[in-house]
Amino acid sequence: LGVEVRTPTSLKGEAEQQAFAALRADVAVVVAYGLLLPKAVLGGARLGCLNGHASLLPRWRGAAPIQRAIMAGDAETGMMVMRMEEGLDTGPVALLEKCAIEPDMTAGELHDRLMAQCASLIVEALAQLGINCLTFAQQATVGVTYARKIDKSETRVDWT
């Protein structure tokens, strides 16, 4: 397809920021991306940066929304497409699709279901963006929770 894919460990360096600027991208899309984008990157795509995020924001902002939703016993979650801002998953939301969390569902199963939703939502978002009809709504300021990265100690099972 001729699409350049980059996986830098950081976007803070001038070299990576210049490489991104050289693309002269119309839009940037990230999904389950673990780094905050610096201003130079956020402003580097003509139509902005979109993020596919696996929660019903503002619940479960951060690194592990799927696992945290299951650990909290949430009955549902979802996939959202949002515009990225400097804050952690704070940008306005364009599209969302809810997803029930079945009682015996694993994080892997939920991940796969959400990523299938994400693919169609990203395609829809890009199509709407291309004809200038993608609209965004600000996230609620109440109900904010953070999905911190899963610590290794949280993966241990106490069999006693």
String of DSSP letters for 71-111: HTT-SEEEEEEEE--SSTT-SPEEEEEEEE--TT--HHHHH
- The residues that bridge with 31 in the sheet, in sequence order, are 52
Q: Is 79's pLDDT higher than 90?
A: yes
* 105-118 mean pLDDT: 98
pLDDT digits (tens, 9 = 90+) for 41-69: 999 999 999 999 999 999 999 999 999 99
* pLDDT of 8: 82
For the chain, domains (ranges, CATH) are 24-140 (3.40.50.170)
Q: Is 6's pLDDT higher than 90?
A: no
User: CB-based contacts of 49: which residues, under 8 Å, 6+ apart?
Assistant: 27, 28, 29, 30, 37, 41, 42, 83, 84
Instruction: Compute CA distances 80 → 5, 36, 126, 148, whole Å.
Output: 22, 17, 13, 18
